[in-house]
């Protein structure tokens, strides 16, 4: 998909192109290609990042907290983890 989008972007401004032909050339789905090119559909990786409640630094803080509890022989329950994650995220975090 990325190569096909680059091919579209390398065309001169106003130059006509066919999503169908480019999709066939690069072996990708035409609909997905047109949506990505028009930025209607984000890549799965971007969608997953946007759906996360905690950023990577907050995740690291949560991991350190869990390790500290484990070192004290206090096994963290799901409720403890969820509550601490909610405090870090400053919003309610689901169990999953």
> Residues 23-57: pLDDT tens digits?
999 999 999 888 888 875 555 555 555 567 888 89
pTM of the model: 0.48
Helix axes 2-9, 30-37, angle to 10 degrees: 60
- Sign of the torsion angle spanned by Cα atoms 8, 12, 18, 22: negative
pLDDT confidence tier of residue 77, bands split at 50, 70 and 90: very high
Instruction: Determine the Cα–Cα distance for residues 7 and 15; give it in Å rounded to an integer.
Output: 12
95, pLDDT greater than 80: no
Higher pLDDT, 11 or 50: 11
pLDDT value, residue 47: 54
Instruction: Determine the Cα–Cα distance for residues 26 and 2; give it in Å rounded to an integer.
Output: 10
**Residue 22 · residue 33 · CB < 8 Å:** yes
pLDDT value, residue 1: 85
Supply 79's token pair.
Answer: 């409720």
pLDDT value, residue 63: 93
pLDDT value, residue 62: 93
């Amino acid at each position: 998909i990325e190569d096909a989008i680059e091919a579209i972007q390398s065309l001169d401004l106003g130059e006509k192109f066919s999503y169908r032909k480019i999709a066939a050339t690069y072996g990708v789905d035409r609909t997905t290609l047109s949506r990505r090119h028009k930025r209607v559909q984000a890549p799965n990786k971007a969608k997953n990042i946007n759906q996360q409640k905690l950023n990577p630094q907050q995740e690291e803080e949560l991991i350190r907290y869990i390790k500290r509890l484990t070192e004290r022989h206090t096994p963290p329950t799901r409720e403890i983890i969820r509550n601490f994650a909610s405090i870090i995220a400053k919003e309610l975090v689901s169990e999953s």
